[in-house]
Chains A and B, each alone.
Chain A
Amino acid sequence: MLKQIEGSQGMAEAIALCRPQVICAYPITPQTHIVEGLGAMVKDGRLQGCEYINVESEFGAMSVAIGASAGGARAYTATASQGLLFMAEAVYNAAGLGLPIVMTLGNRAIGAPINIWNDHSDAMALKDAGWIQLYAETNQEAADLHIQAFRIAEELSCPVMVCVDGFILTHAFERIDLPTQEEVDRFLPPYVPVQQLDPDNPYSIGAMVGPEAFTEVRYLGHQKHIDALEVIPRVADEFRAAFGREAGGLIRPYRLEGAETVLVALGSINGTIKDVVDAERERGVKAGAISICSFRPFPLAELNEALSGAKRVVCIEKSLSPGLGGVLASNLRMALRGHAVPVYTVIAGLGGRPILRSGIAGVIEAAGRDALDDITFLDLNRSAVEGQLTRAAGLRESGPIAENLLKALNPGLVHRVSPRRAGE
Chain B
Amino acid sequence: MNDQAETGGQRVRFYQTGTHTVGNRLMDAATRTVQSSIDRSNAITSGHRACQGCGEALGARYALDAAMRAAGGRMVAVNATGCLEVFTTPYPETSWQIAWLHSVFGNAPAVATGVAAAMRATGRTDVRVVAQGGDGGTTDIGFGCLSGMFERNDDVLYICYDNEAYMNTGVQRSSATPAFARTATTPAVGPHPGNVFGTGKNLPRIAMAHEIPYVATASVADLHDLEAKVTRAMAIGGARYIHIMVPCPLGWGSASQDTIKLARLAVESGLFPLFEAEHGDVTAVKTIRHQVPVEAYLRPQKRFAHLFREGHEDHQTLAAIQAMADANIRRYGLLGEGKA
CB distance from A88 to the nearest CB of B (A): 10
Chain B residues with CB below 8 A from A68, complex form = 114-115, 117-118, 121
Please, what's the 1-or-0 string for B126-165, where 1 marks a CB less than 8 Å from any CB in chain A? Answer: 0100000000000000001101100110000000000000
Residue A258 at the B interface, CB < 8 A?
Answer: no
Do A205 and B101 contact each other (CB < 8 Å), given the known contacts A60-B148, A66-B107, A67-B78?
Answer: yes
Give per-residue flags for B11-48: 1 if the beta carbon is below 8 A from chain A beta carbons, else 0. 00000000000000000000000000000000000000
The contact of B91 among A55, A201, A203, A210, by CB within 8 Å, is A210
Residue B96 lies at the interface, judged by CB distance under 8 Å to chain A: yes
Interface of B is mostly: mixed
Chain B minimum-CB-distance residue to A61: B110
Distance in angstroms between the alpha carbons of A90 and B73 in the assembled complex: 29
B144 x A60 contact (CB < 8 A): yes
When C-beta atoms are compared, the residue in chain A nearest to B79 turns out to be: A206
Q: Across the interface, do B127 and A199 meet the contact criterion of CB distance under 8 Å?
A: yes
Closest to B81 in A: A208
Count chain B CB atoms within 10 A of each CB in A57, A63, A97, A210 and give the residue with the most. Answer: A63
A156 to B274, CA, bound (A): 49
- Complex CA–CA separation, A75 to B113 (angstroms): 13
Q: Is the CB of A66 within 8 A of B111?
A: yes
- Is the CB–CB distance between A210 and B110 below 8 Å? no
User: Are A64 and B110 closer than 8 Å at their CB atoms?
Assistant: yes
Cβ contact of B144, chosen from A22, A57, A67, A202, cutoff 8 A:
A57
Assess the B114–A63 pair: CB atoms within 8 A: yes
Does A50 sit within 8 A of B, measured CB to CB? Answer: yes
Do the beta carbons of B144 and A204 come within 8 Å of each other? no
> Which residues of chain B have C-beta atoms less than 8 A from A22's C-beta?
114, 117-118, 121
Residue-wise, chain A 118-132 has the 8 Å CB interface mask toward B (1 for contact) of 000000000000000
Q: In the complex, are the beta carbons of A207 and B90 less than 8 A apart?
A: yes
Q: A22-B114, A59-B107, A65-B114 are in contact. Are A204 and B100 (CB under 8 A)?
A: yes
- Bound CA–CA A250/B151 (angstroms): 43
Give every chain B residue within 8 A of A205 (Cβ-Cβ).
100-102
| Interchain CB contact (< 8 A) of B101 among A49, A64, A67 | A67
Measured CB to CB, the nearest residue on chain B to A94 is: B103
Q: Across the two chains, which residue of chain A brings its CB closest to B95?
A: A204
Cβ contact within 8 Å between B101 and A70? yes
- B106 engages A71 (CB within 8 Å): no
Contact B96 A204 (CB under 8 A): yes
**Is B99 on the interface with A (CB-CB < 8 A)?**
yes
* Closest chain B CB from A135 CB (angstroms): 27
- Interchain CA distance A22-B110 in the complex, whole Å: 13
Say yes or no: B145 contacts A53, CB within 8 Å: no
| Interface status of A93 (Cβ within 8 A of chain B) | yes
What's the minimum C-beta distance from B99 to chain A, rounded to whole angstroms?
4
Nearest CB of chain B from residue A238's CB, rounded to whole Å: 26
Cross-chain contact of B76 among A50, A90, A199 (Cβ < 8 A): A199
- Closest B residue to A20 by beta carbon equals B121
Q: How far is the CB of A222 from chain B (nearest CB, A)?
A: 19
A386 close to B (CB within 8 Å): no
Known: A59-B106, A60-B107. A206 touches B101 (CB 8 A): yes
Residues of B within 8 A of A207 (CB): 89-92, 94, 102
Q: Are B90 and A67 in contact (CB under 8 A)?
A: no
> If A197-B101, A198-B99 touch, does A71 touch B114 (CB 8 Å cutoff)?
yes
Cβ of B97: which chain A residues have Cβ within 8 Å of it?
202
Tell me the bound Cα distance from A53 to B149 in angstroms: 10
Cα separation A50 to B94 with both chains bound (whole Å): 33
Find chain A residues with CB under 8 A from B114 CB: 22, 24, 53, 63-71, 75
Alpha-carbon separation in the docked complex, A57 to B109 (Å): 13
The answer to whether A209 and B115 have CB atoms under 8 Å apart is: no
Residues of A within 8 A of B (CB): 21-22, 24, 49-51, 53-57, 59-60, 63-73, 75, 89-90, 93, 97, 197-199, 201-210, 213
Selected A-B contacts with CB under 8 Å, 8 pairs: A21-B118, A49-B121, A60-B144, A63-B110, A66-B103, A68-B115, A204-B96, A208-B85
